[in-house]
């Protein structure tokens, strides 16, 4: 079973918590790595292992202040992984947290919500 | 000579004074003549002298003990000095290593900077035909602010078959990878519009999307998902219409009377993988009148943070458009530039910025 991974935030990269026993994926902060693939690689590896034996309910919590377009594409991949879980009869949900003052992130969340066929909740703070 | 030997000799010499003095003293007390025979006599007859005679040995030994201590202290000092010397030498070595590394670094930096400056000239040459837009549509302008010299944002301008095409493009990444992507986008736009002179905007976006996937060998689970956002307009100056298709980038339209409206793009950007299979881009047609204008911009502007970690935001940009749209070109350009500078101040720029204003 995939273990617990805790990647601390840096100036350019968000904090990431991957908890296989709780079925929790949490990404928070600013995502503008120079090399986005190199940054998200450990997440992909964890997910690959996690999908072998996921728990009943997986929640993807996003607390993003900024995400560049290259990282957004990796986020799409992670979200389409949630779709794969649902196809496997597991439950999965995306919770998009954003500041109510941040119209850019709110709009981004709403756009994603409208095109994704998975449970997608927007929580404004 | 070490201290223990030296001290022993001093101690012993000092100790010799005692038997000599005591013998002389005894000779005087006993009133004997000052001869070696008298000294031998007092020494033989008085056992107290025998104890006094051992003074050189004992005093010598005591002094030697102090000498041993002194030797230890000296040895410790020597060791300390050696350590200090070693450390100083190490520091010097480290220092020179550092200054060599620093020289290497600044040499590398200089080379990289020169290489990127060179790349910038190529990029500027490529996009210089966007200058034609300012001539064909007087009152138009564009603002470029690459984050790292070369840019993933670019403006493309093309006339063909009575149509004018304008595209504002924001590629994934910035700097060198962004510039690589911008070349792909630039060449695809040229290729598609020259191969099909009647190409509609949605058709162009559909083609670019597929072509990027081909060029970068993008498959569902491949690692490279790069692509670009694009706002693409085809202006028919005779019919006074604009066909607009957007891939993740919209436009902001302001009528001559000041009415502002947002023309929303399709969500999906170009390249990589769309969630929806067989997704096709849509086209919106806008009828315009002379004096209308529209703006296209990359999210580098709206997403820019200030020192208080607040974003520039869409509302602020729209407000600036509403204030500035009727001003002469040079003033508009200056006003937008100043507003961005004023917002950003010392905060670092996170992404390339581009703003294009087209006066119809």
Among B residues 265-324, those touching chain A with beta carbons less than 8 Å apart: 267-269, 272-273, 275-276, 299, 302-303, 305, 309-311, 313-315
For A60-115, the pLDDT digits (tens) are 999 999 998 889 888 988 888 888 888 888 899 999 999 888 888 998 899 888 88
Average pLDDT score over chain B: 91
**pLDDT in the model for residue B109:** 93
Give the residue from B221, B280, B286, B218 showing the smallest Cα distance to B250.
Answer: B286
The partner residue sitting opposite A115, judged by closest CB among B272, B275, B315, is B275
Give the residue from B41, B5, B2 showing the smallest Cα distance to B23.
Answer: B41
- Yes or no, beta carbons of B267 and A111 under 8 Å apart: yes
**pLDDT in the model for residue B84:** 95
* pTM tops 0.90: no
Q: Give me the domain span that covers residue A34.
A: 4-124
- Yes or no, beta carbons of B303 and A104 under 8 Å apart: yes
Most A CBs within 10 A among B275, B308, B347, B349, hence the mutation to make, goes to B275
Confidence of residue A3 (pLDDT cuts 50, 70, 90): confident
**pLDDT in the model for residue B239:** 94
Most B CBs within 10 A among A36, A69, A72, hence the mutation to make, goes to A69
Contact of B349 with chain A, judged by CB distance below 8 Å, is answered with no
Tens place of pLDDT per residue across chain B (360 aa): 888 999 999 999 999 999 889 888 888 888 888 888 888 888 888 888 888 989 899 999 999 999 999 999 999 999 999 999 999 999 999 999 999 999 999 999 999 999 999 999 999 988 888 899 999 999 999 999 999 999 999 999 999 888 999 999 999 988 999 999 999 999 999 999 999 888 899 999 999 999 999 999 988 777 788 999 999 999 999 999 999 999 999 999 999 888 999 999 999 999 987 777 789 999 999 999 999 999 999 999 999 999 988 899 999 999 999 999 888 888 899 999 999 999 999 899 999 999 999 999
- Yes or no, beta carbons of A103 and B269 under 8 Å apart: no
How far is it, in rounded angstroms, from Cα B340 to Cα B153?
Answer: 17
For B24-37, the pLDDT digits (tens) are 888 888 888 888 88
CA dist B271 → A37, A81, B214, B216 (Å): 16, 19, 9, 9
Could you give the percent of chain B with pLDDT greater than 70? 100
Q: In terms of CA atoms, which chain B residue is nearest residue A70?
A: B172
How far is it, in rounded angstroms, from Cα A92 to Cα A50?
Answer: 13
For B124-157, the pLDDT digits (tens) are 988 888 899 999 999 999 999 999 999 999 999 9
Three-state secondary structure readout of chain A: CCCEEEECCCCCCCEEEEECCCCEEEEEEEECCCCHHHHHHHHHHHHHHHCCCCCCEEEEEEEEEEECHHHHHHHHHHHHHHHHHHHCCCEEEEEEEECCCCHHHHHHHHHHHHHCCCCEEEEEC
Most A CBs within 10 A among B181, B311, B351, hence the mutation to make, goes to B311
C-alpha dihedral sign at B144, B149, B152, B157:
positive
Q: What is the mean pLDDT of residues A48-70?
A: 91
The answer to whether the CB of B150 falls within 8 A of the CB of B185 is no
Number of domains in chain A: 1
Which DSSP category does B264 fall into? Answer: P
List the CATH number of the domain containing A53.
Answer: 3.30.750.24
Distance in Å, alpha carbon of A34 to nearest chain B alpha carbon: 8
How far is it, in rounded angstroms, from Cα B286 to Cα B45?
Answer: 141
Phi, psi (deg, nearest 5) at residue B137: -125, 80
Phi, psi (deg, nearest 5) at residue A5: -120, 135
**pLDDT in the model for residue A2:** 57
The answer to whether the CB of B225 falls within 8 A of the CB of B265 is no
A/B interface, count of CB pairs below 8 Å = 59
The partner residue sitting opposite A70, judged by closest CB among B173, B302, B310, is B173
- Yes or no, beta carbons of A80 and B305 under 8 Å apart: no
Contact of B172 with chain A, judged by CB distance below 8 Å, is answered with yes
**pLDDT in the model for residue B10:** 92
Distance in Å, alpha carbon of B271 to nearest chain A alpha carbon: 10
**pLDDT in the model for residue B50:** 87
**pLDDT in the model for residue A101:** 86
Distance in Å, alpha carbon of A56 to nearest chain B alpha carbon: 24
CA dist B26 → B7, B15, B36, B42 (Å): 29, 18, 13, 7
**pLDDT in the model for residue B79:** 94
Distance in Å, alpha carbon of A48 to nearest chain B alpha carbon: 12
Contact of B110 with chain A, judged by CB distance below 8 Å, is answered with no
Residue B102 contacts by C-beta under 8 Å, 6 or more apart in sequence? none
Most B CBs within 10 A among A48, A64, A70, A115, hence the mutation to make, goes to A70
**pLDDT in the model for residue B167:** 96
The partner residue sitting opposite B303, judged by closest CB among A66, A114, A115, is A66
Q: How would you classify residue B300: left for phi > 0, otherwise alpha for psi between -120 and 50, otherwise beta?
A: alpha
The partner residue sitting opposite A104, judged by closest CB among B171, B311, B350, is B311
Q: Is the pLDDT confidence value at A1 over 70?
A: no
The partner residue sitting opposite B302, judged by closest CB among A34, A37, A104, is A104
For B200-236, the pLDDT digits (tens) are 999 999 999 999 999 999 887 777 889 999 999 999 9
> Residue B83: enclosing H or E segment and its boundaries?
helix B55-127
């Amino acid at each position: 079973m995939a273990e617990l991974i805790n990647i601390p935030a840096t100036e350019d990269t968000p904090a990431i918590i991957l908890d296989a026993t709780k079925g929790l994926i949490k990404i928070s902060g600013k995502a503008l790595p120079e090399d986005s693939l190199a940054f998200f690689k450990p997440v992909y590896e964890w997910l690959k292992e996690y999908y072998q034996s996921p728990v009943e309910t997986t929640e993807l919590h996003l607390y993003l202040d900024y995400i560049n377009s290259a990282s957004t594409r990796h986020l799409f991949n992670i979200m389409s992984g949630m779709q794969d879980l649902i196809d496997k009869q597991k439950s999965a949900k995306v919770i998009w947290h954003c500041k109510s003052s941040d119209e850019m992130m709110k709009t981004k969340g709403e756009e994603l919500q409208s095109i994704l066929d998975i449970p997608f909740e927007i929580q404004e703070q | 000579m070490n201290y223990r030997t030296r001290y022993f000799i001093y101690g012993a010499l000092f100790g010799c004074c005692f038997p000599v003095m005591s013998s002389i003293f005894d000779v005087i007390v006993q009133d004997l003549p000052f001869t070696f025979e008298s000294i031998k006599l007092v020494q033989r007859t008085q056992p107290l002298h025998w104890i006094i005679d051992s003074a050189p040995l004992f005093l010598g030994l005591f002094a030697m003990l102090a000498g041993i201590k002194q030797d230890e202290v000296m040895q410790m000092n020597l060791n300390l000095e050696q350590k200090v010397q070693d450390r100083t030498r190490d520091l010097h070595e480290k220092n020179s290593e550092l200054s060599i590394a620093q020289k290497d670094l600044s040499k590398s930096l200089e080379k990289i900077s020169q290489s990127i400056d060179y790349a910038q000239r190529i990029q500027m040459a490529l996009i210089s035909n966007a200058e034609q837009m300012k001539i064909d549509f007087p009152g138009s302008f564009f603002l470029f602010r690459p984050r790292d010299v070369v840019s993933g944002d670019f403006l493309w301008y093309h006339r063909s078959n009575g149509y004018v095409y304008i595209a504002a493009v924001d590629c994934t990444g910035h700097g060198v990878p962004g510039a690589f992507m911008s070349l792909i986008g630039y060449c695809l736009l040229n290729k598609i519009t020259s191969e099909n002179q009647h190409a509609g905007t949605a058709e162009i976006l559909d083609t670019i999307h597929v072509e990027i996937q081909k060029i970068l060998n993008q498959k569902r689970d491949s690692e490279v998902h790069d692509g670009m956002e694009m706002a693409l307009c085809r202006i028919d100056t005779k019919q006074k219409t604009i066909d607009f298709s957007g891939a993740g980038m919209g436009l902001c339209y302001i009528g001559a009377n000041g009415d502002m409206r947002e023309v929303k793009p399709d969500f999906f950007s170009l390249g990589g993988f769309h969630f929806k299979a067989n997704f096709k881009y849509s086209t919106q047609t806008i009828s315009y009148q002379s004096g209308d204008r529209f703006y296209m911009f990359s999210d580098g502007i709206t997403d820019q943070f200030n020192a208080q970690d607040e974003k520039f935001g869409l509302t602020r940009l729209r407000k600036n458009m509403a204030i500035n749209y009727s001003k002469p070109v040079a003033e508009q350009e200056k006003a937008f530039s100043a507003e961005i500078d004023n917002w950003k101040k010392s905060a670092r720029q996170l992404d390339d910025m581009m703003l294009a204003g087209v006066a119809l």
